[in-house]
Amino acid sequence: MHWPKSRTACFITETLFLEPFLVTSPSLKFTLARPAWGTSLGQPSPSSWHRCQHNCSLRDTFVSTGYKRQACPGHSSSRIALAAKMRAILIISLFSCFFAAYNAKVFSKCELARQLKAHGMDGFHGYSLANWVCMAQHESNFNTRAFNGKNSDGSSDYGLFQLNNKWWCKDNKYPSENACNIMCSKFLDDNINDDINCIKRVVRDPNGMSAWVAWVNHCKNKDLSQYLAGCQL
């Protein structure tokens, strides 16, 4: 991109974080300019510096290209404040997502076994406690925030027991039977009481634990002693 020699530039006085909010805002019309001819970046000529001070209320740097942009008087300060708020909201949202992922509950096999036993899952509908622990390990690796959105039919699986949004829960993204009468997002928190209530509903169906492919592949008719080994139950 080439600019006439007569164009002058406003040099940096304030660096903005997450600049795209200002770049894309239709209410702020930025004028692109190149540094005054013969001056180096960051060293404006006295005349161009005077014009910048006189004409611009906000100046920042187009770091990626070396070009400058300026927002000049006539643009409401309230619009600039709104852009700042939008940036702040984005930062907070990104931080919240990171914080939630960072704090996902990952059970140990014995910790999960104790919780399942407390909820009456040892022998529930004929399945030993080790079957449930085995299934959870191979479905989610004991992670309460495990999510699988890559099923061949377009459905998704949620949480510790990878409960499916086609049959067991609702997420407003896929037509669901919602047999457990619950939002899928509830299976992504650290409270697994609702998860356990739902797997009790799942296993009452004729398929039993065969509803979980991981159980069929890794647990069914296998020696499961390792899944409770060392656990004080």
Active site residue 194: no
Cα separation, 37 vs 196, whole angstroms? 71
Catalytically annotated residue among 157, 189, 205, 223 = 157
**Which stretches of the chain drop beneath a pLDDT of 50?**
1-75, 96-102
Q: pLDDT by residue (tens digit) across 78-103?
A: 667 777 777 777 666 555 444 444 45
Q: Does residue 97 sit in the same domain as residue 113?
A: no
Residue 188 has what pLDDT?
A: 97
Q: 195 lies in a domain?
A: yes
Q: Does residue 125 sit in the same domain as residue 185?
A: yes
- Are 184 and 165 in contact by the 8 Å Cβ rule? The answer is yes
Active site residue 177: no
Q: Does residue 61 sit in the same domain as residue 146?
A: no
As beta bridge partners, residue 60 has: 69
Q: Does residue 91 sit in the same domain as residue 134?
A: no
Q: pLDDT by residue (tens digit) across 180-199?
A: 999 999 999 999 999 999 99
Residue appearing with tokens 């939630």: 100
Residue ranges of alpha helices (H) inside 11-108 are: 20-24, 46-55, 77-102
Residue 86 has what pLDDT?
A: 73
Catalytically annotated residue among 139, 177, 205, 223 = 139
Q: Does residue 115 sit in the same domain as residue 215?
A: yes
Give φ, ψ of 8 to 5 degrees: -110, 165
Q: Does residue 198 sit in the same domain as residue 219?
A: yes
Cα separation, 51 vs 40, whole angstroms? 17
Residue 81 has what pLDDT?
A: 73
Give φ, ψ of 45 to 5 degrees: -70, 155
User: Number of structural domains, the chain?
Assistant: 2
